[in-house]
Structure 1
Amino acid sequence: MPGSPGKHTPYYELVDAQGQAGCPICRLVYKAADRYLDSLLYEAVLDPDVRAKLKESRGFCSRHTEMLRRKPGRALGVALIYRDIIRAVSETVGRGRYKGESSPVSRFLDKILGKTRGRQRPGSVLAGERVCPACAIARKAERNNIELLLAHLQDEQLHDAYAKGEGLCLPHFVRALEAVEDEESFGLLVGPQVARYRLMIRDLDEFIRKRDHRFRHEKYGEERDVWLRVLNAVVGGAGMGLSAESGGRGSPEFMDEPP
């Protein structure tokens, strides 16, 4: 593609991700957030300014909190981060006073005037003032990698890897479609994806057939993991076998006899 960016480390990471299990964008987004959390745990121990910003976001969303919880050596960093957060929450709640139900007239005036007349809902007081910082990193990685994929779709090395890989999950495929700017790139993006969908349909038909009691004696072939592949194809993300964290078809969850 004319004007496409040069081939640097992110390009080769994107090529490599095509050959791994699951959606390559999901994998790279996960890795970006994972690297961020690694560095942040180290910085949080040393830098009170880092902890101050995390206090404003009330730490992390539930997904990235779970990623944080599973990290080795995270205990001190987590303790320092969340001590500041709990202190802030405790002080805010401690200053609170009960306010009973407002009168019908007061509620009517609030609605007309578009204000709370000095009353603030607990959620607006206690919730974080910033978005989850790991989510911000993940969104940036998602945007950058989709742009990189589209910029190099006409590159033989990347497109060959894309065509042979497991493809994009539906959410990332939709985002890529929305960003395509020319007909040739559209065809290069869509063609392999449609071929993968058709292959999954064939494998699903075969998987379902072999679950029939009449054919249960037949051994599973390529279709044995299609029930996991289709989850990632439609939903994406991690935690479904062919995921950013796991590793693919060599994982213990892939058994000769599917559940």
Structure 2
Amino acid sequence: MKDKLYTIPVNDAFDKGGECPLCNMIDELEQKAIDFTMGPSYMEDDVRGETSRLGFCERHIELLYKNQNRLGLSLIIKSHMDKIINDVEKLSANDVKTTVPSLFKKHSDNFSVADYIEKLSKTCYICSKIDSTFERYIATVFYLYQHEEEFRMKFKDSRGFCTRHYSILYKEANKHLSGRQFKEFIEILNSLYLNNMKRVRDDLEWFINKFDYRYANEPWKNSKDALPRAIKKTNSISLD
């Protein structure tokens, strides 16, 4: 298989296995984004400008804190707080009806403090870095499915996908595939999702049964890690 831009991480994610190859991609992108943000880049003006403008979601501020670069994170958060204070002061000083062009590119003549805070609560520097690359990964999945028999077999042999990423693949399919190949892809995708959801559901059911004294002497089978795998399937969260 000829590896082009983005095909290596996509193939690596499917090779890694697990309950959702697309979650593998997200996990890798997330770690790289955290490392980048807390590396020397946080001293660069363009990076600091974006982190000050966008801030971080609850999940990623927690991961940044766990990175242990407390000085770097303190500098980043201080700049973000300076930005918020400056923007809110401007908005409130003008009877909450002005524009803060530095937050979002689209201007509004009726932009209030409440609007500002609401939009700020929905932005995250780490999420934006992940999302921009992940979109290209999704396109690469379909490119490889179209052109590489080896990848199609890898796709068919996977353990399916979490609900979130199943939905993304389902919605994006008609943008990249057509005719017989589109129909085949959807059939395979549905089968992978449902069969593997049932597999994990059955493992979880057996895990529950093991807490019943009647099953105390029965083997665990594949159920010992059923709960984190079920959470992966339903909520796209890695707990291992």
- Give the alignment partner of residue 60 of structure 1, picking from 56, 61, 64: 56
**Contact 1:203–1:226 at 8 Å: present in 2 too?**
yes
Deviations 1:82-141 (A, max 9, x none): 2222233344566757x8xxxxxxxxxxxxxxx97xx93355269649932221122223
In structure 1, list runs of 5 or more residues that go unmatched: 100-114, 247-259
Other-structure match for 1:28:
25
1:40 matched to 2:32? The reply is no
Other-structure match for 1:12:
8
Other-structure match for 2:98:
none
Deviations 1:127-165 (A, max 9, x none): 649932221122223322222222223634333433443
Other-structure match for 1:103:
none
Other-structure match for 1:199:
199
Give the Cα separation in 2 of the matches to 1:141 and 1:51: 20
Whose RCO is larger (CA < 8 A, sep 6+)? 1
Cα pair distance change 1:202/1:29, threshold 3 Å: closer
- Give the alignment partner of residue 76 of structure 1, picking from 58, 71, 77: 71
Cα RMSD of the aligned pairs, angstroms, is: 3.1
Q: C-alpha displacement at 1:9, in angstroms?
A: 5.8
Kindly report which structure 2 residues correspond to 1:102-251, keeping only aligned pairs within 5 A, or say none: 120-122=112-114, 124=116, 128=120, 131-153=123-145, 155-180=148-173, 181=177, 182-238=182-238, 241=239, 246=240
Give the Cα separation in 2 of the matches to 1:126 and 1:146: 29
**Contact 2:201–2:230 at 8 Å: present in 1 too?**
no
- Specify the code of the residue in structure 2 equivalent to 1:38: D
Cα pair distance change 1:207/1:36, threshold 3 Å: closer
- Specify the code of the residue in structure 1 equivalent to 2:207: F
Give the Cα separation in 1 of the matches to 2:21 and 2:61: 23
Q: Which has the larger radius of gyration?
A: 1
Identity %: 19
TM-score norm. by structure 1 comes to 0.69
Deviations 1:172-230 (A, max 9, x none): 10110112231122233233333312322432343333332211122311122222212
Q: Which SS does the other structure have where 1:87 is aligned?
A: helix
In structure 2, list runs of 5 or more residues that go unmatched: 96-108
Deviations 1:33-81 (A, max 9, x none): 3212322331122x23321232222x21111112211224x22321222
- Specify the code of the residue in structure 2 equivalent to 1:200: V
Q: Which SS does the other structure have where 1:211 is aligned?
A: coil
Q: C-alpha displacement at 1:236, in angstroms?
A: 0.9
- Specify the code of the residue in structure 2 equivalent to 1:86: M
**Contact 2:60–2:126 at 8 Å: present in 1 too?**
yes
When the two structures are aligned, how many residues end up with a matched partner? Answer: 215
Cα pair distance change 1:153/1:82, threshold 3 Å: same
Other-structure match for 2:102:
none
Cα pair distance change 1:189/1:48, threshold 3 Å: same
Other-structure match for 1:49:
46
Give the Cα separation in 1 of the matches to 2:122 and 2:58: 15
Give the Cα separation in 1 of the matches to 2:197 and 2:87: 52
